[in-house]
Amino acid sequence: MEHLENRELSWIKFNKRVLEEASAPENPLLERLSFSAIYQSNLDEFFMVRVGSVTDKAKENNSKKDKFSGMTPSQQLDAIFTAVRRLQPSVEETLLATMKELQPYGFEHVSFDKATKEEQSFLEMYFKRELKPFISGMVVNDALPFPFLKNKEIYAVVQLASKKGVSIGIIPANTNSADRIISLGRDGKRFILEEEVVLHFAHHMFKNYKVMDRALIRITRSADIMVSGRGPEFRQRMEELVDKRKRLAPVRLEISDVFSRDALDYLCKKLKLKNVRVFTSRIPLDLSYLYTLQEYDSDPKLHYAQRTPRKPAALSDTRPVFAQVKAKDILLSYPFESINLSFIRLLQESANDPKVTSIKITLYRLARNSKVIDALCTAAEQGKEVLVMIELRARFDEENNIEWSKQLQEAGVKVIYGPKDYKAHSKLLLITRKAQGGNFDYVTQIGTGNYNEKTSALYTDLMLLTADRDIAADAEAVFNGLLSGTFVEKTNKLLVSPLALRPQVLAMMDEQIAIAKNGGNGYIAAKVNSLNDSVIINKLVEASQAGVKVELVIRGLCCLIAGVQGYTENITVRSIVGRFLEHSRIFIFGEDGADQKIYIGSADYMSRNTIRRVEVAAPVEDERLRKRIRDMFRIIMRDNVKARIMLSDGSYIHERRNPDIPLNSQEYFYEEAYKRLDDKKNRQEQLRINREKGAAKKTAAKTARKPAATKSSAAKKAAPAAKRGRKKKTSE
C-alpha cells in the first residue's frame, strides 16, 4: 500500500541519513570520518542480522509476503542488494572527498605505488620483519580444502597460475596487532594500511606459483541466532550458541577491486554465495581505522566543541539521592547530565546504606568496566538481597553478559535470565529501604537507555526516579514475573509488555480519536527509535483519518509513510541524526493540560518490543517534569539543523524552517544543562551571600541595642586588668 514501506528498505534510508552526516558541511572534518565508519558498521550489522534473517525466510518459505510491501523474501533480498549497491558510489565519494579536504592538515592515505622510493623500501622491510612472520599463505583448489574465513576479517586473495584449473591463494591480511595503520611519518597522518602492504607483497607468500591477479576480500556471516530457555543450563547453551554463530553461513562478499571472473566465481562457489551478493569497493573494506585518525590531530577546527555531561541540577550534593527522590520525582537527561553523579551515585549509596534491604535491577548492555556491577557486588557482599535479571541474549553482548553473570553470582547476587522465549529489554530498578515504624520506602527507576556509563555519554536518554508506591508495586510485580517466568497482565501505573503495554497505548490513542470525532483537538506524539508494529501503525492511520494531529520523531526505520492523502495526511515524521544517538522514547497522548498523558520507557513501537519482549514505560506525573518533557519535545520538533522530515513518497529532506535561526536540538539541550547548573551555582552563591548579609545585619542590630558602659563600670573592669598586669610582672 502507498502509505506503508518495507522494514529493510526503510532501514537503508536511515543509514543513508547517517551517511549524509559524513559530508555535512557543519560537521568538523575528523568528525565526518566517524559517520563514514558508523555507516559501514551499521551496514555490517544489518547484513549479519536482518539479511541473515530474510535469507533464512527465503529458504524456509519464500511464498510468504511482507505485510507492508507485499514482497517475498527473495524479492526483498533483491531490493536490499540494489539499494545498497546504489549507495556505494556515495560512500566512496564521501570518504575520498573528506580525506582530500584533510590534506592541508597533513592527512594522506597513500597507495603503495604513490609512496616515495624510500617509503617503499621501508614498507618492504616492514613486511618482511613485522608481517610475514605472523601470516601464512594457503593454496586452495579442488584437491585442497577451502579454509574457514572469519567474519569481517580481511584477506588478500590471489589467482595463481595452474595447469589443473583455478587455484587461489588466501592470506590473512591483518596480524594480531590492533592498529592497521602503518605510519609513513612521525605524526602518523601520512599512512598506508596493513592489508594493502600484505596484498602488494602477496607473491612472496607463493614462491612456486605465478600470481595472475590479486584483491582484498571481506566476508560477512549471518548472526541471526535465537535460543529459548531460562534454567541453570541456559548460560552454557548460550556459550555454545555464541561459538556456533562464528561459523554461520556467509551472506555477503566484499572485494576491493576488479578481480578475475574465473577466480571470483570459484570463490563464490566455495563460499556458497551468488554473485549478486558480491560488492566491490574502491575504499578500504573495513573503515574502523577512521576512529584512530581522529586521535592524530587535536586542532579544535577538526573536532566537535568539547562537551562533558553536567552534574544534574536537580540533585544536591549534601543529601543522599534516595532521600531527594523521596521528596520529589527527578528526571535525568543523558548525555547532557552525568550518569555517574546521579544513577551510579544512587546505586553506590544504596549499596553502602545499612537501611537498604534489597536492590532489584534488569541489565541488558553494560560498560566494559561497569560501576553498576561493582555497586551490585558490594551490596550483595554487605548482606543485602540483590536480584539481577541479566539478558544473555542481548545481541553482540552475549559473551560480556555471560561473564558478568558469573561475576555477580560469585559475589552472592541472585542472577536470573529473561523469560524462555522473550528478551527482557526493560530498564528497571527497585530499591527497598527500612523506614520508621517498621515500614519501608521505595525508589523506582525507569529509563529509556542501558545502565552503561560509556553510551550514556553518547546516546540521548531519559531516566525517571520516583518514590511512588503504586509504581513500586508494579515494579515488584515485574520482578516477580521475571522470577516465575510469567508476564504482568494488569498494573497500577506502569505499561509492561508483552501483555500490558500495547493494549494501553491503543486505548489512549482511541481516546484521542474519540476527542477528534467529537469536534475536539486530538493529539498523539511519540519519539521512538523505530516503528514497524502493524497494529499501532493501523491505529495511527485511523487517528489521522479521524483528524487527530500526529507528530512522530523516529530516528531509524519507519514502515509508515507520512502525508499520504486519505491515510496519513495528519501525520508528520521527523528523523534526527546528529552528534549523539537519539535513543530516548517518549509517548504523549492529548494536548497540554491536566488530561494529557506522558510516558517514558524502553519500548519502541516495534512488534518485537510491544509483544515479544518485557518492556516497561512509566507515567510522568509531576507537573514540573511534564513541562520539561513537553518543552524538550517542542525543541526537537523545531530542530532545523539535524532534523529531516519525511515526504509523502517516503524520502527525507532536511527541515529548513527559519534557516536564519539555526536550532540544533542536541546542542541546545547541552547548553541548557550547562546553564541550569550555572544558574544553580549562582542561586547557591546568592543564598550564601544573603545568609552572610543577614548574619551581619543581626550582629549590627545586636550591637546597636547593647547599652553603653558607664565610667564607674569601666573603671571596675579596668581595675582587675591592672592587678593582673602587676601580678604577671611580679612573677616574671
> How far apart, in whole angstroms, are the C-alpha atoms of residue 205 and residue 433?
67
Lowest mean pLDDT: which of 380-394, 471-485, 644-658, 701-715?
A: 701-715
For position 240, what pLDDT does the model report? Answer: 87
Q: What is the pLDDT of residues 673-719, one digit of tens each?
A: 999 887 777 666 666 667 766 676 677 666 666 555 444 444 444 44
> How far apart, in whole angstroms, are the C-alpha atoms of residue 225 and residue 207?
42
Q: What is the pLDDT of residues 577-623, one digit of tens each?
A: 999 999 999 999 999 988 999 999 999 999 999 999 999 999 999 99
As annotated, the active-site residues are: 425
pLDDT band (50, 70, 90) for residue 376: very high
Q: What's the CATH superfamily of 496-663?
A: Endonuclease Chain A (3.30.870.10)
Q: For residue 196, give the amino acid letter.
A: E
For position 310, what pLDDT does the model report? Answer: 96
> How far apart, in whole angstroms, are the C-alpha atoms of residue 643 and residue 664?
8
User: Integer distance in angstroms from the first to the last C-alpha of the chain?
Assistant: 110
State in words which class domain 7-302 has.
alpha beta
Tell me what percent of the residues of the chain surpass a pLDDT of 70.
92
Domain ranges of the chain: 7-302, 321-486, 496-663, 665-698
> How far apart, in whole angstroms, are the C-alpha atoms of residue 413 and residue 264?
53
Bridge partners of 614, per DSSP, are 424
DSSP for 634-672? HHHHH--SSEEEE-TTS-EEE--SSTTS---HHHHHHHH
DSSP H stretches of helix in 286-370:
289-293, 321-327, 343-352
Q: Say if 321-486 and 496-663 have the same CATH topology.
A: yes
CA angle 343, 42, 276 (to 5 degrees): 160
Tell me what percent of the residues of the chain surpass a pLDDT of 90.
82
Q: At what angle do helices 665-705 and 623-638 cross, to 10 degrees?
A: 140
Predicted model pTM: 0.91
Which of 179 and 463 is assigned the larger pLDDT?
A: 463
> How far apart, in whole angstroms, are the C-alpha atoms of residue 688 and residue 216?
67
Grid cell, residue 711, equals 565610667
Lowest mean pLDDT: which of 351-360, 501-510, 617-626, 720-729?
A: 720-729
pLDDT band (50, 70, 90) for residue 728: very low
For position 179, what pLDDT does the model report? Answer: 80
Q: Helix, strand, or coil here: 139?
A: strand
State in words which class domain 321-486 has.
alpha beta
- Average of per-residue pLDDT across 100-128: 96
pLDDT band (50, 70, 90) for residue 176: low
* Cell 483519518 sits on residue: 545
**Mean pLDDT of the chain, nearest integer:** 92
For position 439, what pLDDT does the model report? Answer: 95
Q: What is the dihedral sign for C-alpha 536, 537, 538, 544? A: positive
For position 246, what pLDDT does the model report? Answer: 86
Which of 172 and 233 is assigned the larger pLDDT?
A: 172
CA dihedral angle for residue 609, residue 614, residue 619, residue 624, rounded to 10 degrees: -80
> How far apart, in whole angstroms, are the C-alpha atoms of residue 654 and residue 652?
7
pLDDT band (50, 70, 90) for residue 727: very low
pLDDT band (50, 70, 90) for residue 470: very high
Lowest mean pLDDT: which of 366-380, 515-529, 712-726?
A: 712-726
pLDDT band (50, 70, 90) for residue 726: very low
Strand bridging mode 549-554 / 414-416: unpaired
DSSP for 576-617? E-SSSEE---EEEESSSSTT-EEEEES--BSHHHHTSEE-EE
Does the pLDDT value for residue 234 go beyond 60?
yes
Does the pLDDT value for residue 500 go beyond 90?
yes
Does the pLDDT value for residue 291 go beyond 60?
yes
DSSP 430: E
Q: Helix, strand, or coil here: 10?
A: helix
DSSP 131: I
CB 540 within 8 A of CB 550: yes
Measuring CA to CA, how many Å separate 452 from each of 369, 443, 447, 609, 706? 10, 20, 12, 20, 62
Q: At what angle do helices 52-60 and 73-101 cross, to 10 degrees?
A: 160
